[in-house]
């Protein structure tokens, strides 16, 4: 069984977060350390530690992350100019919280994907 994370407490509203969307599959909230004018985390409500832990049973929830990302991007006014969706996996991939999550980042030109 995966260990509970701070995101689990956000989903249950046990700790404060600026939630912008929540349904039975996913929760989306503002990142506490934004890297762009719009920086929202979208997470499945089911605790899945990393991309390596995804199973076929997770397809609906993880596909729903993209549907919710597009909806939020439109609501925030960044859909037309563009935005970036980022999912990190494990330490070398930059994952800090081991509850899979998608970063929705936009609101300004984002530059190159990776630094050399």
Q: Which helix (H) or strand (E) holds 67?
A: helix 59-75
Instruction: Tell me how far apart the alpha carbons of residues 42 and 100 are, in angstroms, rounded to a whole number.
Output: 9
Question: Would you say 25 and 44 are in contact if contact means Cβ atoms under 8 Å apart?
Answer: yes
Give dist(CA 93, CA 111) in Å, integer. Answer: 19
Q: What share of the chain is helix, strand, coil (3-state, %, to 5)?
A: 30, 20, 50
Q: Which of 39, 99, 101, 103 is catalytic?
A: 101
State the Cα–Cα distance between residues 11 and 34, nearest whole angstrom: 19
Predicted pLDDT of residue 26? 98
Residue 101 annotated as catalytic:
yes
Can you list the residues of the chain whose pLDDT is less than 50? none
Quote the pLDDT of residue 113.
80
């Amino acid at each position: 069984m995966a260990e509970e994370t701070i995101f689990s407490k956000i989903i249950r509203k046990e700790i404060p977060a600026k939630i912008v969307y929540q349904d039975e599959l996913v929760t989306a909230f503002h990142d506490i350390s934004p890297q762009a004018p719009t920086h929202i985390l979208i997470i499945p409500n089911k605790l899945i530690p990393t991309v390596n832990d995804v199973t076929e049973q997770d397809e609906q929830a993880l596909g729903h992350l993209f549907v919710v990302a597009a909806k939020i991007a439109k609501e925030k006014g960044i859909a037309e100019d563009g935005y970036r969706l980022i999912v990190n996996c494990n330490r070398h991939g930059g994952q800090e919280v081991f509850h899979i999550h998608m970063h929705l980042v936009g609101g300004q030109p984002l530059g190159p994907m990776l630094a050399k």
